[in-house]
Structures are given as C-alpha cells and as structure tokens.
A and B are shown apart, each in its own frame.
Chain A
C-alpha cells in the first residue's frame, strides 16, 4: 500500500530520469563531496577579486567622504540607491518562490527554491550595503536604531520612510535567513551522515543542529515552514512597497506617485526571476543538475517574467498617463520633457526596450524553452530593471521644482562603479561558496515530490489515467489531507 498524491499526466515531470531517493541524494550532495571544477575556481577567484575592489572603493568613500562619488547637491542619490533598489528587487524572487509558490502549491518550486532563497539572502546582503554606505557618517549608522541612550530622550524618526526601510530590510533579511536555514537543517544532516572526513562530519554536525529526521520534528518543521511562508508572503510584498515609499511619500515630481508600491513589487518579481534564471542556467550547467532544473522550470519562470514585465509596462504607461491627466506642470515636465527626452532620455528608452518590449518575445513557447535565449533575456531584463531605478531616481531629481538647481550631467566615478562591482563580488563569492558547501537543491523536498512528479513514477501512474471514474474513486483511500488526493495503489 502506498500513499501518494495524484498528479495529472498533463503536467510534465519535475524530475527527469529514473531516480531513486538514494540517487537524488547522491546527485545533489555530490557537488559538496567532490572537488570543485576548474570553472568553479575561476569564478570564485574573479568574484573575490571584485569583492576586494569593492572593499577598496568603500574604504575610499568612508575615509574621504561621499565626495568620492559624483552625486551632487541636486542628485543626492545616484548609483548608490539605484543599486540598493535593484538588489532588493532581485532579492524578492527567492522568497516569492519559496513562500508564495509554497502557498499556491506549485510543485515546480522545489527544484529552484533553495538556490533562489540563497540568492535572496545574498542579494539582500548586497542591497543592505548601499543604504549603509551611502551615509555620510556610516560610523553613526546605529543612530537609526531605537536604543535607549543617555542623550536625553532621543529616538529615531518613525515617520521616515528610510527608517521603515531599516526595519523592512532587516526583518526581511532575518526572516529569509531563518526560512532558508530551517529548510537547510535536514539536508545538512544528510550531508553530515554521508560525510567521510572528520572535519566535514564535525562542521555539518554543528550546522545541522543534531537533526535526526524524527517524524515529530518533521511535523513541526512542516508547520513552521508553512507559517513562515505565510508570513513571508506579505513580508515580501511589504518590503518593496516600503522601498517604493522612499520615493512615493516624497514631494519630488516623478517620485510622488501612488502607483509605486504595486509597480515596484511587480518590478521586483520581474528582476528577481530574471536573476534566478541567470543563476539557475549557470548552475544546472556547471553542477550537472539538468534533471532537477528542467526546461519545465525554465518555462514556468519565463511565464512569470512575461507576466510581470507586462505589468511593469502597464505601470510605465500609467505613469505617463497620470502625469498628463494630473495637469501638474512639474509632473508633466519631468515625464514628458526631461525623462523620455532630455539628457537622460536614452536611459528611459533603454529601460522601455529591455523591460517592456523584449520580454514580449516570451509569448512564443519555443523561445520560452530556449536555454540560450532565456539566458540572454535574463540579463537584458536585469539591465532594464537597473535602468528603471536609475531613471526613477536620477531623472526625477536632476530637474525638479526650481530650474536654478537643475543638475549638471551625472556620471559615476570609478569608486561608485567599484562599489557596485564589489557587491557583485560579494554576491558571487557567497553564491560560489554556497554552491560548494550547501546542497543547492532542497534534497528532502525533491524526495517528497519525486514519487508524484518524477518522470519514472509518472509513468507508473499512467494506469490510473486509464481507469474508469468509478473504479478510480473506489480506489481512493479515505485519507484526505490538505486538499491532496490520496490514492491507494495496490
């Protein structure tokens, strides 16, 4: 007698090939146990080099002042906050995949959720660097925390969107980390129990918190994951909403817009999925995980990309419409004179091309399932989303209310670019380490879906497909749990 979830044959398998539980473990843990490839070493060292350059760029800025950057009295935020919003946006896909797709019971998330969550955490780490190091006096950053102090009553300003950011980003980071790590515990235990070397046994032993696989633990673990997913879903929406409040609650024409929260969230999912695509396509190639990250996964994510890309496109058009409809001259000038035209007009059209026009090609199934095209598009989308933030921030600030204060042309200095490159270094350094030392695919979750959606098991189920309805119902066990249909298979 076996208990399994019935899944339609119409859905394509999430795990290709004829796998057993043991093979799944072997395939995924192999990346940890084997010596990394040459490619891994090259990638890792390049990332560390970038990180070092970033560290030096930040050192310059902290030691000599924000004057190391080309932001100015009119454009107070430039690459720094652009990069912040960009990275935070990217950091949304992981939690979205883990949480929202878990709630929506999208089985395909299992192949990609671990790496996507890791990506989230690293992206949020990168994002966090910018609001911290864009401060003129970063050594006073702790002023943002409401800690009791001896300076008389002295508290932060809870009305400031930037303080909301402090809470939102730190909460998001903490919750993502907890979610990710609690999911990792069983898999780390798997690595621990397979470990051949003493050091590995020790370290994974410490990291797996003494996980044993007890049924009671699994039951609580499932409940915990579900509630964390439930919490993360509004959280992930709130984070980019709050980031958008940085702009939406201001008086700056081009920022002061109520459409920002949904528009930012859609944009975040858009860029996040694109980044997941970029990483997954590399990962499945380098780590030989084509059986677990299948074309089906890629296509599913491409569908999300075309959807969110279109939402973002609608938002861009709505913005233009509202600027015209509002009859506020400052708004109209910003949008029609200085954003779609003017010195930064090129960045607007680059954004439009990358974010709205090119993703429409994903309406073609052939292109959705084309690995190379997907890879190129994923990068194009992230370039476009970077420029979206750049357009919002710089092209709103540079010509606001008083024409006397309009800015000279803003170009980043090498240290501004260096900081950005440094976060790439940080991101990929973390990601390379992660891919070497952690199970990049959630082993337990793959095993959980293996027998319902694995290629070989689906074939078993084809007998069910041919059964008459009466017979099928008759064979259903009396177990009904959380909407899943249990099938008794003799």
Chain B
C-alpha cells in the first residue's frame, strides 16, 4: 500500500479510445487501468490483458456441489438412517436428481460470485481512489502509472495528442481500503502508510 503517481487521460468516445490504447502500448507506457462506464468489448485484448478463468472456478464449485449432494444423501439413506419410506429403495438415486442439480447450481453460483468478489476485491465498505467521477458515467478514463523514468509532461502531451481530454497528474493510493464514500478519512488505518 503506497501512494503512487499516475497520469490520467479521459476519452469521450471509444472510437478515439481504441487507437489511443494501441498507441500507448506501442510507446511502452504501463497501463494502470482503463476505467469505463460499461464493458467495452475488445478493450482487454487491446490492453494486453489475459483472459479470465473465473468460469473454471465455477465448474469446480459446481462439481463440489454435485459430489457433496450425492454422497451426503447416499450416506444418510444407506448408512446413517436407512428407513423404509413408502417402500422406495434406500438408494433412490432418481429421486435425488433434483436436489443434486440444485446443489450443483447453488455451489457454482455462490462460489463464483464469492471468487469474483475476492479476486476483484469488491465488498461493502471497500473504498478506492477514483480517478474521475465520470468514469462510471460517460468517460473512458485511461490511467497510466508513472515509473521512476517516466517523463510526466511528455506522457501528458502524448495522451493529449492521442485524443485524451482533461489530462492531469494524480498522486493516489493504488489499492483499496476500508472507508466510507461520504468521508475522507479511512475507517481502519494501517500504521505504516508511506
């Protein structure tokens, strides 16, 4: 957790954004992120991000659900409490299909959502620095990290030339913290903030 320096450029149209992204990449600048008000298809590829594997997690969670349901019901009705219910066999697999299916879906869905929240670090009371308030409205906000060697002014004019508006430098916390959006101070503060 540390404060870093970023150069921020805003774009109003994806028509302008896409060429700018490839230019920035070619120029070798390091993207911090691009904040968009809606999912812009192809932007992740353009930025060079790898595909997500969250669906694999979903599959695994689903399998856990299936296995748990089948083994649990089998154990209950054949080992722990074998009772005669309406003359049905104790191992009544067809009758367990509905519950098995539901458990599969439930585990997959809950597991995936929790995974998503975890890897994206999303939760109630999580607060981040937002580089531009209109990033969730109508601006595509490109944020480029300033390294030690980066020439800030050069980068700014580079972005402006690529079509960015309102280009500015911001020094901000790059991670998240526990906080309230209506208050500036953090709710929980670690002592070693640089």
CA distance A242 to B103 in the complex (A): 14
CB of A204 within 8 Å of the partner chain: yes
> Once the chains bind, are A210 and B127 in contact (CB under 8 Å)?
yes
A-B contact count (CB 8 A): 232
User: Does B43 belong to the interface (CB within 8 Å)?
Assistant: yes
B26 proximal to A (CB < 8 A)? no
Task: Evaluate contact between A153 and B81: CB separation under 8 angstroms.
Answer: yes
Residue A326 is within 8 A (CB to CB) of chain B in the complex:
no
Task: Say yes or no for B149: interface residue by CB 8 A criterion.
Answer: no
Closest partner residue, chain A, to B65 (CB atom): A171
12 more contacts with CB within 8 A, not counting A211-B122, A228-B112, are: A2-B18, A154-B81, A171-B106, A178-B113, A193-B135, A202-B181, A205-B180, A215-B43, A223-B52, A241-B98, A444-B39, A482-B41
* Chain B residues within 8 Å of A59, by CB: none
Number of residues from A at the complex interface, CB < 8 A: 81
Selected A-B contacts with CB under 8 Å, 8 pairs: A153-B80, A155-B77, A205-B180, A214-B34, A218-B36, A218-B38, A218-B40, A221-B39
A161 to B92, CA, bound (A): 13
Among A146, A193, A212, contact of B137 (Cβ-Cβ < 8 Å): A193
Residues of the B chain whose Cβ atoms lie less than 8 Å from the Cβ of A443? 37-38
Q: Which of A18-26, A35-43, A69-77 contacts B (4 or more CB under 8 A)?
A: A18-26
- B129-170: which have CB < 8 Å to A? 130, 133-138, 141
Q: Which of chain A's residues have a CB closer than 8 A to the CB of B47?
A: 215
Are B76 and A175 in contact (CB-based, < 8 A)? no
Q: Within 8 Å of chain B (Cβ to Cβ): is A231?
A: yes
Which of A79-87, A127-135, A181-189 lies at the interface? A181-189
Please name all residues of chain A whose beta carbon is closer than 8 Å to the beta carbon of B52 when the two chains form the complex.
216, 219-220, 223
What's the Cα separation between A92 and B119 when bound, in Å? 31
Partner-contacting stretch, out of A162-170, A292-300, A338-346, A383-391: A162-170
B101 partner residues in chain A, CB cutoff 8 A = 234, 238
Most buried by A among B44, B81, B120, B183: B120
Q: Are A182 and B113 in contact, CB atoms less than 8 angstroms apart?
A: yes
Instruction: Name the residue on A nearest B142 (C-beta).
Output: A215
A453-490 interface code vs B (CB 8 A; 1 in, 0 out)? 00000000000000000000000000101101010010
Partner of B85, one of A1, A2, A159, A215: A159
Residues of chain B at interface, number, CB under 8 A = 75
Nearest B residue to A212 via CB reads B128
Closest residue of B by beta carbon distance from A154 = B81
B99 to chain A, nearest CB (A): 5
CB-based contact B128/A178 at 8 Å: no
Chain B residues with CB below 8 A from A234, complex form: 101, 105
Whole-angstrom CA separation of A174 from B62 in the bound complex:
15
A285 is an interface residue with CB less than 8 A from chain B: no
Q: Does B63 contact A (CB under 8 A)?
A: no
The answer to whether the Cβ of B55 comes within 8 Å of any Cβ in the partner chain is: yes
Residues on A with beta carbons closer than 8 Å to the beta carbon of B19: 1
Q: Assuming the A-B contacts A158-B96, A245-B98, are A221 and B35 also in contact, with contact meaning beta carbons closer than 8 angstroms in the complex?
A: no
Determine the distance from Cα of A182 to Cα of B122 in the docked complex, in whole angstroms.
11
